[in-house]
Structure formats: C-alpha cells, structure tokens
Amino acid sequence: MSAASTPARGLDPELVARLKRDEAGLITAVVQDASDDRVLMVGWMDDEALARTLSTGRATYWSRSRAEYWRKGDTSGNVQWVRSVAIDCDGDTLLVRVDQVGAACHRGTDTCFDGGDLGAVVLDPTERTA
C-alpha cells in the first residue's frame, strides 16, 4: 500500500479532486519518450510521487513490489527528465512525457514493450464497420 493516503503538500487541490486512484491509492502513469512518442514503460504514482515528479522535474514512482518510492535513474543512471505530465479524461491515468537517458526498462532495454507483436487482426480501412 502506498505511503501517502492523504494528498501530498504542494499538489493543486483541484488536481487532487480529479485524480481517481485505485484501492491502494495509486494512479497509472504511462511514460512516453518526448522525442519520438514511443511508450517506454508503465509505472505507478500516489499523490506524493506525483508531487515529487512535478516539483523536481525527475520522474518518481511508487514501487508496488518494494513498497517504497523510487526516482528513476537514482541507482541505474537511466534518468527520466520530465517534459510534461497530463491527466486523462477519466482522471485515472497520467501521461508522463520524458527525455529518457539510457534504458527505460529494468532489463536494460529502451522500452518495456519489446515482447513482440501479439498478432492482432488488422483490418483494411475499407473493411471496417461501426
């Protein structure tokens, strides 16, 4: 469970009200490379991690497995410099656009999404119906 169950100091109260957290107080953070729009990874933030991210310009996440905050790059050197953070229309997901230094994935790859295409059916636009 996230350490921050109450809104973090420094977050705009209107933003706090818009955030829809899961039962652990977390919100999904989709991380995108600002230079080429690739999705790099998905992380989790609570109010404190979001406040740290917004106030420092470095991406900070809540580790569900270690139950602690981690600032991307502090141990690996693979820093994420934040360019922007946006909230989606439902308030349950953040889009964090970053300048990625080094690998984004803990396995040393550029992106966590390198597991291969799953073979989804792709229709020709003329075959698509509503």
| The two three-digit tokens of residue 39, written as one number | 């999705």
Q: Would residue 90 count as lying in a domain?
A: yes
Q: Would residue 30 count as lying in a domain?
A: yes
Cα dist from 58 to 27, 51, 89, whole Å: 17, 11, 24
Q: What is the pLDDT of residue 118?
A: 87
Residue ranges making up the domain that contains 58: 13-127
Q: What is the pLDDT of residue 7?
A: 58
Residue 32's domain is classified under what CATH number? 3.10.20.810
Q: Would residue 18 count as lying in a domain?
A: yes
Per-residue pLDDT of the chain (130 residues; tens, 9 = 90+): 454 445 567 888 899 999 999 999 999 999 999 999 999 999 999 999 999 999 999 999 999 999 999 999 999 999 999 999 999 999 999 999 999 999 999 999 999 998 888 888 888 888 777 6
Q: Would residue 2 count as lying in a domain?
A: no
Residue 60, beta-bridge partner list: 71
Q: Would residue 7 count as lying in a domain?
A: no
The predicted-structure confidence for 110-122, as pLDDT tens digits, reads as follows 999 988 888 888 8
Q: What is the pLDDT of residue 127?
A: 78
For the chain, what is the domain count? 1
Q: Would residue 3 count as lying in a domain?
A: no
Q: Would residue 6 count as lying in a domain?
A: no
C-alpha span between 53 and 70 (Å, rounded): 11
Strands (E), 56-126: 60-63, 68-71, 80-87, 93-100
C-alpha span between 105 and 69 (Å, rounded): 17
Torsion of CA 92, 53, 79, 110, to 10 degrees: 10
Q: Would residue 64 count as lying in a domain?
A: yes
Cα dist from 37 to 3, 95, 97, 100, whole Å: 31, 11, 8, 11
pTM of the model: 0.85
Q: What is the pLDDT of residue 6?
A: 55
